[in-house]
A and B are shown apart, each in its own frame.
Chain A
Amino acid sequence: MQNIEIKARSKPKKKFEFYLGIPYYAVLITLVVIPIFLMIVSSFQFDNQSGIYPISFTLNHYLDFLRATSFVRAMTSSLWIAAATTVVALIIGYPLAYILTRMKPKSQITFLLLINAPMWINMLLRVRALEQIIRMFFPFLIDSFAGVVLGLVYVYLPFMVLPIFAVLSKIDPNLLESSADLGANKFKTITKVVIPLSLSGVLSGILMVFLPAATTIIIPQYLAPSQNIYMIGTLIEKSVINSGRISYASAVAIILSLVILGIVYYIKKLDKYKGVNSNEKETH
């Protein structure tokens, strides 16, 4: 009864509040949905057409991937570099997050802030700063695979630390004690209790580092200026900015999205302990 009354009363208000969303939907449709649709259409067009109007159809750009070695090379080197970055970021980020959870709450806030703060700074400034340091102390890293990975770790490390810290700080300390009480040593507690419980954080950290690392433009341009390390971002940038091949770039972007979707799907599937921690939290 009460519910019905309230609904009847708030009808004019509901209508008003519905209209509030219209400008947002206009922006979302014209600047997000339509561009994606046009990008798909464009990827089947010949290049160097004015507008999209003389609609044509070609599979050339997609067939290019099978023929052109530059694409395959760029794709594989991007995936390799991103994978190496993710591994290094995990090796540094996991212990870092773990050490943070063992600190007093107040120092936790301070250290988290210190890890986060650089993310508010323009990425180009940070990469340029790193380039300056590398040229000063480790010039042999310029134009190397390791240098590009170092740059990517430098920029994306916070994305690994934060999700891992979030799950680690939720683990009930009693679980660690009971593991010790049941006779597990420290190493066993970490491998059998802490790591499985933090898996969901690790996986989201992996995604948050891998994806931007695989699609970067900036870092190889600064840290490998002779362009011996050719990544997919550089390929797209070159085809758009230097040669104006927008249709080809669209096709590359679509293939890239498909590869990324596949990786995201696969990693999400690995997350078998999802929600373990949050359930425990709720029952407390």
Chain B
Amino acid sequence: MKKRRTNPSQVIFLILVFLFIYAPIISIAVFSFNEANSLTRWEGFTFDRYIELFTDRELFNYTNPRQSIVFMTLWIALISTLVSTVLGTLAAIALTQSKKVIRDITMTVNNIPIVSPEIITAVSLLVLFGALSIAPSYNTMLLAHIAFSTPYVLITVYPKVKSLDPNIADAAYDLGASPLKALFLVILPQIKVAIIAGAAIAFTMSFDDFIISYFVAGSSGDKNISIYLYTNRLSPKPIINALSTIILMIIGGKITYDYFKTNKKTEELE
């Protein structure tokens, strides 16, 4: 039998590592309730930072959403997710039908934005927009996000499409389905899970992106949340802690939900 026991030194090691990982994140949340305008000195509990956050005209502009950083970040994440998920999924289906040479070339080019450091992708897109005289704005940001998200969707969806039994689609054709009908009623339902996974990656990548957005849109004054955080790094506004805490809670909630869902599934399997 394999020993499953962890000894005390291992437990101490684990505690230290997880303290290292989580202490900063917890401190952000704690200081979002701080009465003092300080990130290092505690003065008392308050919800004021949250009220300030939701009344901040730069982050939340309810009358003119085009000027609102939070709204525009979500909007760009949504649109780029939608576009990249559709493009990547359709390309994954097309790719299984193409010749091996084309498949290999496509996969190699597709991997360029995934493996190359973000800063290099950022410079190359900046040069492109400069050469085409497209002024930096939320539009260039959106195009850039589509450019780096689509390859991730393709590599997430493609293995699933490849594993499908081609006979099922053929059967649909034999039974008289049109290509569109076969696509929507036969192929897409089978790869639904992979498409959702690809879309989740695309959304997070867009929502969290900093370097590429900063390079292609930073000079225009159009900001997403990351650019806002970065440009305010030297004047630490406590409302950023409140904003961070809300984002942390949404992500934390989603992860815990997924965790208990998969746990339930494994228990059912057992």
- Show the binding face of A for B, using Cβ within 8 Å: 6, 9-10, 12-14, 16-21, 23-25, 27-28, 30-36, 38-39, 42, 50-52, 92, 95-96, 99, 102-104, 106, 109-111, 113-115, 117-118, 120-126, 128-130, 132-133, 135-136, 154, 157, 173, 211-212, 214-215, 217-218, 221-222, 225, 233, 236-237, 240-241, 246, 249-250, 253, 256-257, 260
Contact = CB atoms under 8 A, between A and B. Distances in A.
Contacts of B230: 124, 218, 221
B97 A18 contact: yes
Central interface residue in B13, B128, B151, by most chain A CB within 10 Å: B128
Contact of A260 (B96, B117, B125, B210): B117
B27 A132 contact: yes
A25 B84 CA distance: 12
B118 A225 contact: no
Contacts of B170: 6, 9-10
B20 A154 contact: yes
A28 B150 contact: yes
A18 B5 CA distance: 54
Nearest to B113: A32
B57 to A, nearest CB: 21
B28 A257 contact: no
A51 B151 CA distance: 28
Contact of B93 (A17, A25, A109, A123): A17
Q: Helix, strand, loop or mixed for chain A's interface?
A: helix
B261 interface: no
A17 B179 contact: yes
Nearest to A17: B97
B127 A246 contact: yes
Contact of A132 (B20, B24, B125, B262): B24
A24 B157 CA distance: 14
Given A38-B128, A118-B21, A218-B210, A23 B90 contact: yes
Given A120-B255, A128-B229, A256-B117, A21 B20 contact: no
A175 to B, nearest CB: 12
A215 to B, nearest CB: 4
Interface of B: 2-6, 10, 13-14, 17-18, 20-21, 23-25, 27-28, 31, 39-40, 86-88, 90-91, 93-98, 106, 109-110, 112-113, 116-121, 123-128, 130-133, 143-144, 146-147, 150-151, 154, 169-170, 173-174, 179, 182-183, 204, 207-208, 210-211, 214-215, 218-219, 225-226, 229-230, 233-234, 236, 240, 244, 247-248, 251-252, 255, 259, 262-263, 266
A129 B90 contact: no
Contact of A35 (B127, B225, B234, B236): B127
Given A27-B146, A124-B226, A236 B124 contact: no
Contacts of A122: 207-208, 210, 225-226, 229, 244, 247
Contact of B215 (A115, A214, A240): A240
